[in-house]
């Protein structure tokens, strides 16, 4: 049972109702994941969903690259719900299933094209060391440009916020879904 479920509609303030309408009518199409927790701070929820909408829907990164970054971030946090949601999106975007399994288990993927591998290496280093070495930074800039490197960092940061929220709120997976990171 989640610690911070979405409150009943009757218990929402007018501002909370506005935020739910904003999120529901936006590219996500509904309120799920961290929004049950975030709605308790409606102004923070608005700001977080705006950043998330850019990172997820308007980034200069390809869908495959973005989802690898998100999934590596989820792995680093053992964010069960985040992995559950974004592994599926990664697979739908065309990321190799064996590579996703390697990321999930903490192994180095070996089946990714060069751009996706660079995204994995950058996200893995960022989530592990909280920095990028000069060598990795230079390779990432070569692969994605400075804008792309900034967006990789933003995706790691935003999905760390999401993953921590999901972990603290204890957002469950749908019934019958196995935990990606068994306790």
Q: Is residue 101 scored above 80 in pLDDT? A: yes
Q: Which two tokens stand for residue 3?
A: 């610690």
Dist CA 86 CA 45 (whole Å): 20
Dist CA 107 CA 100 (whole Å): 10
> Contact at 8 Å (CB) between 153 and 126?
yes
Q: How many CA atoms lie within 13 A of 45 on its CB side?
A: 23
Burial of 120 (0-12, 13-18, 19+ CB in 10 A): buried
Dist CA 145 CA 118 (whole Å): 12
Dist CA 57 CA 40 (whole Å): 24
Q: Is residue 2 scored above 90 in pLDDT? A: no
> Contact at 8 Å (CB) between 23 and 122?
no
> Contact at 8 Å (CB) between 61 and 69?
yes
pLDDT tens digits along 71-91: 999 999 999 999 999 999 999
The residue-averaged pLDDT of 142-147 equals 98
Dist CA 23 CA 137 (whole Å): 34
Instruction: Calculate the average pLDDT of the chain.
Output: 95
Q: Is residue 1 scored above 80 in pLDDT? A: no
Query: What's the pLDDT at 31?
Result: 82
pLDDT tens digits along 117-128: 999 999 999 999
Q: Is residue 109 scored above 70 in pLDDT? A: yes
> Contact at 8 Å (CB) between 171 and 34?
yes
Q: Is residue 130 scored above 70 in pLDDT? A: yes
């Amino acid at each position: 049972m989640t610690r911070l479920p979405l409150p009943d509609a009757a218990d929402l303030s007018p501002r909370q109702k506005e935020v739910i309408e904003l999120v529901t009518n936006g590219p996500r199409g509904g309120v799920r994941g961290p929004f049950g927790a975030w709605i308790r701070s409606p102004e923070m929820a608005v700001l977080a969903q705006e950043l998330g909408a850019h990172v997820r829907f308007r980034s200069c990164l390809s869908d495959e690259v973005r989802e690898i970054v998100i999934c590596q971030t989820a792995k680093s946090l053992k964010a069960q719900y985040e992995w559950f949601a974004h592994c599926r999106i990664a697979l739908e975007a065309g990321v190799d299933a064996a590579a996703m399994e390697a990321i999930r288990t903490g192994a180095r993927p070996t089946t990714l094209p060069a751009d996706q591998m660079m995204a994995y290496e950058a996200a893995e280093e960022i989530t592990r060391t909280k920095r990028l070495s000069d060598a990795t930074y230079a390779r990432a800039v070569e692969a994605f440009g400075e804008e792309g490197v900034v967006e990789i960092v933003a995706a790691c940061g935003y999905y760390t916020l999401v993953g921590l929220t999901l972990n603290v709120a204890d957002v469950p997976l749908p019934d019958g879904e196995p935990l990606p990171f068994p306790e």
